[in-house]
Amino acid sequence: MTALIAGQAPARDGSTVGGIVLHRSSQVKRSDRPVAPETFGSNGSIRKRSRKKSRRQSHGSAWHWQQTDGWYYTLPGTKKRVPLFDEDGNRIRGVDNKKAASLALARIKLGQGWRPEAPPASPEDWLVAKTCSEYLQYCERGVANGSVSKGHRDTTKSMLNDLCRFCGALPVTELKKGHIKTWMESHEGWKSPATYRSAISVVLAAFNYSQENHDIANPLKGLKKPSSRPRLQSFSKEDEDALYKAVAKPLRDFLFAAFHTGLRPYCELAKITADDVEEAQRGMMWRVYSSKTKKTRKIPVRPEVAKLTRELMKTAPRGSGLPVFRTTTGKAWSKVNGVIRFIEARRKLGWDNDPIRKKYSSYTCRHTFAHRMLSGYWNKGVGCSIETLAELIGDTPKVAFDHYGKEWGQHYQDPLWAAIGVKGKMQSSYTAR
């Protein structure tokens, strides 16, 4: 009960006393419906907590607009809706025609129609194409002075030219991470996460270069790459011997050194000259420069590799500039030449029809070396540590662990076995030579 004050206090019986009018407040009807939880705002006001919005379909999908009963898609990096048409040129309508709308969108993507619209650019705008051009020029200069490999230059050239066909006319300020994802998804042949990692690495390198040298903010900062997968392909001793018999002596020597040193075939092993060879008290050592990591390391080599190196150095002495391992024409092994020869050998051995062996490549020699080092192939079953392997093959311990350690590393697996009460060391999966 509340009182409307006119000058005196209200009487207990509810009558009008001395000009005071008593007013009885009505009872509030309580609801049985649950009340949404409340939170307090910054100004102390009470506000209701809203439900978190969820996306009904993934980005890049066809979607139905109830207002027009039509199907649309949204251009990458924009909010513009574009209607979808069937093969006869008619608008696709009806909520039940999702399959037809998805097929229409797929035709657009395959027909290279899935591209962002570039707004009119002013002369001051820094375009995506210019960013790519600047980085390609840097790679060309790097190839000329030996700091960038031809393989990286060629891969970069192919990737960035393809990106420019997709969104080269777009100003860098308008570029979104969604553009890069859509560009990669438009390639049906790009199915491996490794391909996506390679593409993102090249694109990020180009935009990072522009940021460092031209003060152009990188709009792709934070773009995540797919996680790397362990390298689990490894030659058996029988497959290694069969491969030696299927190739000519120059390639046999090259692959033999790759199996026994773990060097990257074309950016490291193919570049070794007599000037990089040192004879130490305990044996031969190589000074290895990697155009991939831009670092030089010194590694010991096994006696059989040292013996082969001394024989080959007779025709490639110090100061000649000739690589130790050469093709039949006396040139250094290139990636193109080596891959072609390896594919021929793989086909000759009938490995193309084998689900495991068809994945073998010259780079698998490096993975085999890592497998053998971790399993103690040359050391009576006692595997080396991840740190030692990383130093030998020119990787960081983290990369070596992610690629090889979890599956093949004794120093990682032995404590796990010991923790569950199983004693003894992990036995090597190889038989030592």
Q: What token pair was written down for 261?
A: 């040193």
The pLDDT value recorded for residue 192 is: 81
Q: What token pair was written down for 424?
A: 């003894």
Q: What token pair was written down for 338?
A: 């080596």
What's the pTM?
0.60
Separation of CA 304 from chain center: 37
Q: How confident is the model at residue 7 (pLDDT cuts 50, 70, 90)?
A: very low
The pLDDT value recorded for residue 158 is: 94
Residue type at 425 in one-letter notation: K
C-alpha span between 344 and 287 (Å, rounded): 31
Mean pLDDT of the chain: 81
Is residue 10 scored above 50 in pLDDT? no
Q: Which of 261, 266, 320 is nearest to 285 (CA)?
A: 261
The pLDDT value recorded for residue 146 is: 79
The pLDDT value recorded for residue 410 is: 60
Beta bridge partners of 83: 72
Q: What token pair was written down for 147?
A: 């700091």
C-alpha span between 78 and 119 (Å, rounded): 11
- Residue 97 makes CB contacts below 8 A (sequence gap 6+) with 71
Give the torsion through C-alpha atoms of 373, 403, 139, 152, to 10 deg. 80
Tell me: the pLDDT tens digits for 150-197?
A: 888 999 999 999 999 988 989 999 888 878 887 887 787 887 888 899
The pLDDT value recorded for residue 51 is: 56
Task: Tell me if 362 sits within 8 A of 151, measured CB to CB.
Answer: no
C-alpha span between 64 and 84 (Å, rounded): 10
SS3 category, 215: coil
Tell me: the pLDDT tens digits for 81-113?
A: 888 887 666 789 999 988 888 888 877 766 555
SS3 category, 327: coil
The lowest-confidence range among 36-50, 93-107, 136-150, 387-401 is 36-50
